[in-house]
Amino acid sequence: MAEVYGNASSIHYYGQAAKRHLEGARRSIAARLQCDPREIVFTSGGTEADNLAIFGTARRFAAGSHVITSCVEHPAVLNACAQLEREGYVVTRVPVDGSGLVDPADIRRALRPDTVLITFMHANNETGVVQPIGEIAAIAKEARVVFHSDGVQTAGRLALHLNDGGPDLFAISGHKFGAPKGVGALYVRKGVSLQAQLYGGHHERDRRAGTENVPGAAARGMAAATSSDWASVAPLRDKLERAILDRIRAATVNGGGAERLPNTTNIRFDGIEGEAMVIALDLRGYAVSSGSACSSGAVEPSHVLLAMGLSPAAARSSVRFSLGPSNTAEEVDGLIDAVTSAVTHLRRISPEVLHG
């Protein structure tokens, strides 16, 4: 920010220095995603990337056109689809099973002659459940429909090869694996057209107007080049789950039977309010969540867990734990003790104390 302060669109020395950093970051991200650097569009984050993909595709077609999505998407996708409905588009929301997985056959059945977009997340932000986007991509390709996937939870955490039969559009956010908040990107497969949603200069190959955030992009590129091995986190997550299920009665892993991200687990503690668990663990030095951070303050139960068939009470009794490569086995042991202590205390004082 202090040394490379030029505008990357300027032709003078300082501008070209900024341009070199910007394009270096683009190459780094493309290498991580296994795609062409020219297919990377920088955005302000995952939400803007999702919005650019959804509106940029759907608005190329007349109102009344059809979009397919799921019931468990992030609000960045759900609310964008709701806006399309207000504009006259038709949206089909495909259900998920008890593990949180969509059945690709349901997507095939939902297709219509006027379907213009399929949008499904790669992995869920609350449960970590990974969707079969390879199968979905094949269905979309066969139907000649654009396929967008919200990959905010998976970029940097799972191996990705976007040019190997994956989605046409793929949204990512830097802060999920080490870059600052407020910088993201959208992968746009070569040949896929988007209607710009911001109007201004010819930045990002006319796909996203506005002076690029060079420091943010450079940090994003560095994070892509140096991101840790997230696969090594899975044993810690499994250790956490096994210990909690062994020590605490009436505890269940939501989506535990499906393929999941290596770092995320969502556990239900019957008879306890999730918000009470969040507070109890915070007082013990552990930051967990009872839902999506983007829905903080919401009193409604998780739409993801409800879609998986949980009752409102069960959904409110669920807590999400997210680990990272920097966590240790000793820290997980401490978390297990803290969870056990918190559950024991809360069930003792809860009006819904479990019996038997």
Active site residue 294: yes
How many of the other CB atoms lie within 10 Å of CB of 11? Answer: 8
Quick one: which of 260, 255, 259, 254 has its CA closest to 274?
254
Question: Could you tell me which residues come within 8 angstroms of residue 274 by beta carbon, excluding any fewer than 6 positions away?
Answer: 290, 291, 316, 317, 318, 319
Q: Contact, 269 vs 319, CB < 8 A?
A: yes
Q: Contact, 128 vs 54, CB < 8 A?
A: no
In the structure encoding, which two tokens stand for residue 258, read together?
């499906």
CA distance between the termini of the chain: 61
Residues in the chain: 356
Residue entry with tokens 């396929």:
147
* CA–CA distance, 216 with 82 (Å, rounded to integer): 30
* CA–CA distance, 135 with 246 (Å, rounded to integer): 36
Question: Could you tell me which residues come within 8 angstroms of residue 299 by beta carbon, excluding any fewer than 6 positions away?
Answer: none
Q: Which of 35, 71, 81, 294 is catalytic?
A: 294
Q: Distance of CA 238 to CAs 2, 123, 145, 333, Å? A: 44, 18, 38, 12
Q: State the Rg of the chain over Cα.
A: 21
In the structure encoding, which two tokens stand for residue 322, read together?
């997210």
Cite the active site residues.
Answer: 294
